[in-house]
């Protein structure tokens, strides 16, 4: 159905513009909300009279729109997104973000009057259209740069290294030396112990002999 807009509707059209909408959208939203009227003969005649009366006003509105377009000029908005090593971006750029950035620069464009002409899926420049007036669309660009996200590599579990061969040999040799020294020490102590035992046995034998001789001498003295 055809609707004559009596107010600007972002994304649809501007005041006094005739637009085509779905029947349900026109009857249940546009007309009840006071954004437009049905484009019948009566309303079309009223529109024609309004356009005659507002022609000069429309010229002023268009003139202001052209001034805004000149102010915007060859604007390039800078956006930074996180990217992978293949320069593919995580996430995207929305018309809301563009509208907000324009507002920060003193330029008011509703998000529904902003069109990104291609999908933002990697770093680079993209074309954007700003519908400033029903008869004026101004192009700008957005430049998307990347902030590479470094993926953490899983650290491989370090293998337990065996003791170096040389060190192992040194330890083994040291152990063998200790063992040999111990065996040598044990043998020496064993020999000395046997010798001491033998000497003790000899001393005991001599003492026994001396005692026997003393006893014999004592017996001879009595005779």
Q: What total number of domains does the chain contain?
A: 2
pLDDT in the model for residue 172: 54
Same domain, residue pair 83 and 123 = yes
Residue-averaged pLDDT of the chain = 79
Least confident among 69-73, 181-185, 201-205: 181-185
For residue 159, is it within any domain?
no
pLDDT in the model for residue 193: 61
Mark which of 148, 182, 211 sits at the end of a domain.
148
pLDDT in the model for residue 59: 85
Same domain, residue pair 80 and 58 = no
Same domain, residue pair 52 and 7 = yes
Same domain, residue pair 66 and 80 = no
Between 173 and 149, the higher pLDDT residue: 149
CB atoms within 10 A of CB 129: 14
For residue 100, is it within any domain?
yes
| pLDDT(221) > 50 | no
Mark which of 53, 72, 91 sits at the end of a domain.
72
Same domain, residue pair 63 and 121 = no
In angstroms, the CA 158 to CA 215 distance is 87
Average pLDDT over residues 62-71: 93
Same domain, residue pair 7 and 68 = yes
Span 100-147, pLDDT tens digits: 999 999 999 999 999 999 999 889 999 999 999 988 999 999 999 987
- CATH number at 35 reads 3.40.5.10
pTM: 0.52
Same domain, residue pair 32 and 19 = yes
- CATH number at 105 reads 3.10.430.100
Between 184 and 25, the higher pLDDT residue: 25
For residue 215, is it within any domain?
no
For residue 174, is it within any domain?
no
Same domain, residue pair 40 and 57 = yes
Same domain, residue pair 82 and 122 = yes
Average pLDDT over residues 61-83: 93
For residue 30, is it within any domain?
yes
Tell me, rounded to whole angstroms, the distance of Cα 179 from its chain centroid: 60
For residue 194, is it within any domain?
no
Measuring CA to CA, which residue among 15, 85, 75 is closest to residue 51? 15
Measuring CA to CA, which residue among 27, 23, 45 is closest to residue 37? 27
CB atoms within 10 A of CB 99: 20
Span 5-61, pLDDT tens digits: 999 998 899 888 999 999 999 999 999 999 999 999 999 998 888 888 877 788 888
Domain that holds residue 29: 2-72
Q: By percentage, how much of the chain surpasses pLDDT 90? A: 44
Q: What angle do CA 191, 192, 193 make, to 5 degrees?
A: 90
In angstroms, the CA 71 to CA 91 distance is 30
Q: By percentage, how much of the chain surpasses pLDDT 70? A: 66
């Amino acid at each position: 159905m055809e609707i004559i807009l009596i107010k600007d509707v972002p994304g649809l059209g501007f005041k006094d513009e005739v637009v085509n909408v779905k029947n349900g959208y026109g009857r249940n939203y546009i007309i009840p909300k006071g954004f437009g009227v049905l484009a019948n003969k009566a309303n079309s005649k009223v529109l024609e009279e309004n356009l005659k009366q507002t022609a000069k006003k429309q010229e002023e509105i268009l003139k202001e729109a052209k001034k805004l377009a000149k102010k915007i000029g060859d604007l390039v908005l800078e956006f930074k997104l996180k990217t992978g090593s293949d320069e593919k971006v995580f996430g995207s750029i929305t018309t809301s973000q563009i509208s907000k950035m324009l507002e920060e620069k003193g330029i008011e464009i509703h998000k529904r009057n902003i069109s990104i002409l291609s999908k933002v899926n990697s770093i680079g420049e993209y074309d954007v259209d700003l519908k400033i007036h029903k008869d004026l669309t101004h192009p700008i660009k957005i430049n998307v740069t990347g902030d590479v996200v470094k993926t953490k590599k899983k650290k491989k579990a370090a293998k337990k290294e065996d003791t170096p061969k040389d060190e192992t040999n040194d330890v083994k040799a040291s152990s063998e030396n200790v063992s040999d020294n111990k065996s040598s020490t044990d043998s020496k102590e064993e020999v000395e112990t046997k010798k001491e035992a033998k000497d003790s046995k000899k001393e005991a034998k001599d003492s026994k002999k001396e005692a026997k001789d003393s006893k014999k001498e004592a017996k001879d003295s009595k005779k």
